[in-house]
Structure 1
C-alpha cells in the first residue's frame, strides 16, 4: 500500500514538474516575442528590460528567472535564428547546379531571405550594434557556415585541395556578412541590389582560390 501511495506521489510530482516546465517555455517565448515586437519599432539600446516584461505581460521579477538582462534576451533570439540559419544552409538544394558560382549565389540569396523574414534577429546580429557576446557566437556560427559552404560545393563539384581552406571560406562568409551589415545600416534591411553585391564580392574572392570551371562530382 505504501509503495502504491509513493508511486502516485511520484507521478503527481512528474506531472507538476512537466506543467511547470511547459509554463516556463511559454513564458520564455512570450518574453522573446515581446522583444522582437519592440525591435520592429526601436533600436536595441532604446529598449529597457521593464518595457520587454510589460509588453510580454510577465512580471519583471519573474522574467529575471529566465533572462538576467536585456542582452540575454537578445542572445536567445540570435541563437534561435542562427540555428535555423545553419540548418537551412546545410540542407541540400532541390536543384542541379551548373557551376560552383551557382551554389554561392543560392547560399547568399537564402541567407538574405532568412534575415529579411526575421527583422528583429537581423537588427541584433548584423544591425551594427551587436552586443560583444553575440558577436562572438556569430563568429563561431560563421565558422560552421564556412565549413558547410566548402562541403556544399563538394556535394556537387570536384573541388581541388585549397591551402588553408578553413580560413578562405571563413573570410568569404565575413565578406558577405559585412555587405549585409552595410545594407542594414544604409537601408534598414538587406536590399536586393546589396544581395547582388554580396554575391559579386563573395564569388570574386573565392575565384582567387577555386578554378572558374569545376567538374561535376
Structure 2
C-alpha cells in the first residue's frame, strides 16, 4: 500500500472497482484495461500501481488475509489453557465466516488465487501463519506432540477448512448453516486428537 494519502486513495478506488468486476464476471473479467475503464483512470496510471492482474488479485487477497489474521490474533482465549477450547474453536470459525461475509468478492478472490503458483503461495503462507497460532494454542494445552508436528496438523486442518468454506459459499442460507455445524464438528474432532486429555488441559 502506498504511503501518500492520494496514492492510497487511488489504490482503494482501483481495488473497489476490481471487486465489482470480479462479482460481475469472475476472475476473467478483471483486467487492467477493464480497471481503467471502470475508474476513468488512464491505463498507464493503473499500471503504475498494478503491473498486471495478478498484482490486483494479490492485493485483494492480502487485504483479506490481514483482516482475517488480525481478527484471529485478537482471540486471546486461544492461548489461554484455562479457556474452553471447544468454545474458542467455534469463535475462530465464526471469525472465518464473519470476515468472509464482509468481503463481497471472497468467492472470486479465492478462485483467482488458484490461477498461478505465486498466488497459491500467498494463500499457503497465510494458512501457515494461522496454523502456527492454532499449534501454539494446542501446545499451551499440553498436546503430547512437538510444536513442529502440531503446526503440520494445524496446517492440514486450516487447508481443509478453507476448502469446505469455499463450498459453503456456493450454498444457500439453510445449507450454509448445516455446513457450518459440520465444519465446527470436524474441527473439534480433529483437534481433540491432539489435545492432552485431562481437566487441566481441556479448559
Q: By the TM > 0.5 criterion, same fold? A: yes
TM norm structure 1? 0.78
| 1:53-110 Cα shifts (integer Å, max 9, x gaps) | 2112211111111101112111101101101111110003589985312111110111
Secondary structure of the 1:106 match is helix
Contact 1:150–1:169 (CA under 8 A) maintained in structure 2? yes
Match of 1:46 in 2: 29
Q: Which of 151, 154, 158 is residue 136 of structure 2 equivalent to?
A: 151
Secondary structure of the 1:187 match is coil
Match of 1:66 in 2: 49
| 1:145-196 Cα shifts (integer Å, max 9, x gaps) | 0111233456xx6333324111011111111111112223x32899222222
* Equivalent residues in 2 for 1:81-100, closer than 5 Å: 81-93=64-76, 99-100=84-85
Matched residue pairs, number? 195
Distance 1:161 1:71, change over 3 A: same
Match of 1:172 in 2: 157
Q: Over aligned residues, Cα RMSD in angstroms?
A: 2.9
Confirm whether residue 123 of structure 1 aligns to residue 108 of structure 2: yes
TM norm structure 2? 0.82
Structure 1 runs not aligned, ≥5 long: 1-17
Based on CA coordinates, which of the two structures has the bigger radius of gyration?
Answer: 1
Range with bigger deviation, 76-85 or 186-195:
186-195
Q: Which of 196, 201, 206 is residue 181 of structure 2 equivalent to?
A: 196
Task: Give the structure with the higher percent helix.
Answer: 2
